[in-house]
Amino acid sequence: MRKLMILMKFELENLTRFPILELILLFLAIASFSPPVAASASFSTLGEEVYSRISFIVSKYFILSFSTSYVPTVIVTSSLIAASLAFEIETGQIELLLLQPIRRGDVLLSKILSISFIVVSIQLLSALLSSATYYHKFVVYISPASLLISLYLSLLSVMLSMSLTLAIFAVLKRSLLSTMVALIALISPAFANVKFLPPRAFLRATDLDFLGLLGDTCVMLLMSFFLLVLEYYLYTRRVGT
């Protein structure tokens, strides 16, 4: 566990170097200052709502901030994982790491956890800033259910984009091409309107129906989990560098 934490610290330092830090800040700015359009419809009449409705409305659009930011989430995640892998391969850092008494699985796991932490944290902060922007005259209450659903949406988006990008990178061995192919595969469902793929699969999120959302996204969840486990297994069983 101690070695894993050291590896995560190393990954976080690499991921926040130029120009990746600027990419992360750009994502934060876009997500923060581009809240859901639907929220503006209730803003002018929010003062007339009963106090109990304020929490529901804020929680609903807090979730909406997550569900509508699927595209920027997968863009940032795919770019981060591909750029990180390419940087370590080209500079020889991965070979140096594997010469140390460190397990291969810990190297891959630290990369996955570090990128997930960065993207989910930024998305959570962006959603909070978005809610505060619209409801600055009110005390903002985020219900535990909406927070749970929002974190689930964020983690699912990160898992899906990371698993596909890792799989494509393992085949193509090129960061830019891998990112482009992965993004095409990840963003295409947004135009195809497929029921079990985002963003249509995220529609039940704003109804605070976690079981319904889980049913709609079970295909994404199982596919992402299967790919990540398979990639972890193959990576740890690989001979040489």
Residue 4 identity (one-letter amino acid): L
Tell me what pLDDT residue 87 has. Answer: 72
Gap between the Cα atoms of 71 and 28, Å rounded: 13
Burial 104-127 (b: 16+ CB within 10 A, else e): bebbbbbbbbbbbebbbebbbebb
Based on its alpha-carbon atoms, the radius of gyration of the chain, rounded to whole angstroms, reads: 19
Residue 141: CA count within 13 A, CB half-sphere? 8
Tell me what pLDDT residue 41 has. Answer: 39
Tell me what pLDDT residue 210 has. Answer: 76
pLDDT higher than threshold 80 for residue 218: yes
Is 0.75 surpassed by the pTM of this model? no
**pLDDT by residue (tens digit) across 165-177?**
888 877 776 666 6
Boundaries of domain holding 36:
2-237
| Confidence category of residue 181, pLDDT binned at 50, 70, 90 | confident
Spatial CA neighbour of 127 closest among 21, 42, 56, 36 = 36
Number of domains in the chain: 1
Tell me what pLDDT residue 166 has. Answer: 82
Gap between the Cα atoms of 196 and 220, Å rounded: 7
